[in-house]
Structure 1
């Protein structure tokens, strides 16, 4: 009587099966193309200018503040006037891909010059989004950023009546 046994379970057969499976796994090469980089183009447009409106100063001067909400206040010897001259925070429309982190860097020193001599110093210090923010609107829609500031006003001899104007630069840095 002969006894037949199955050779499938031998050590040599198991090694062949394992090596065969490893060969099959490594012979399949997965190929995929990387997604193209997301275009990170940030566009900033001025929608409204910063305006402190009409005011007058006395002996000691003070400050006029227009915050990012558009509220106007004064300190010191400055009296706010309502003579038809509207005050407003600056408004910038920022267009970028949603999720873009943007940091706003203001110009360090801004001087406004008067039509009848004199000068005032402006500090940009109020942002509706904070100085660093994450965009949420998808192009072509913009993310509104309201910006306010503080105007340092001298006395009447340093700042005679007239119109004062100047420009400031904000740098929008995409991170």
Structure 2
């Protein structure tokens, strides 16, 4: 656990992509004030599911915060494993506390061969970057925050393992 004087949590999510499937490391942090504890745990990584390119134009795969998956361009969505799912963070904070969610809007994932893909992060189920929400639960209840994203696949993308991070911050006010 890390102590943070401004009750701000900074999470780093690690992407591991095989055929554009992402996994993340679990992150956990806690504020310095025990009476106003804010803790966040990465419960689920974002996965874009299985897909392939049917032509030479590239495209994108979007996984919304509710798990809906769509594609554009030459991307063909496959119904094979792994399933597409949004990232889920478990936020534990006392009732009535305001929490502001901010994150890097764009992140890059890179293969060992230095090929990169871009991911647009968001929105969350609470809204877009900079959105705030008031906790409606008691101090022992966990609120799940779902986060979607869009993976952009250029025409020259190669299959392989991609990795990168995005920062997401939960700030208690």
Q: TM-score, with normalisation over the residues of structure 2?
A: 0.72
In 2, the alpha carbon distance for the partners of 1:92 and 1:67 equals: 15
Q: Which has the higher helix share?
A: 1
- List aligned pairs for 1:73-88, cutoff 5 A: 73-88=70-85
Match of 1:171 in 2: 169
Q: Is the 8 A contact 2:106 2:121 kept in 1?
A: no
How far off is 1:56 after superposition?
A: 1.5
In 2, the alpha carbon distance for the partners of 1:153 and 1:64 equals: 8
How far off is 1:129 after superposition?
A: 2.0
In 2, the alpha carbon distance for the partners of 1:101 and 1:42 equals: 11
Aligned match for 1:43, one of 31, 34, 39: 39
Q: Which has the higher strand share?
A: 2
- List aligned pairs for 1:73-152, cutoff 5 A: 73-115=70-112, 117-130=114-127, 131-152=131-152
Paired residues, number: 137
Bigger Cα Rg? 1
1:110-132 per-position Cα deviation (integer Å, ceiling 9, x unaligned):
11123555211111122112232
5+ residue gaps, structure 2: 1-32
Q: Is the 8 A contact 1:117 1:160 kept in 2?
A: no
In 1, the alpha carbon distance for the partners of 2:163 and 2:97 equals: 33
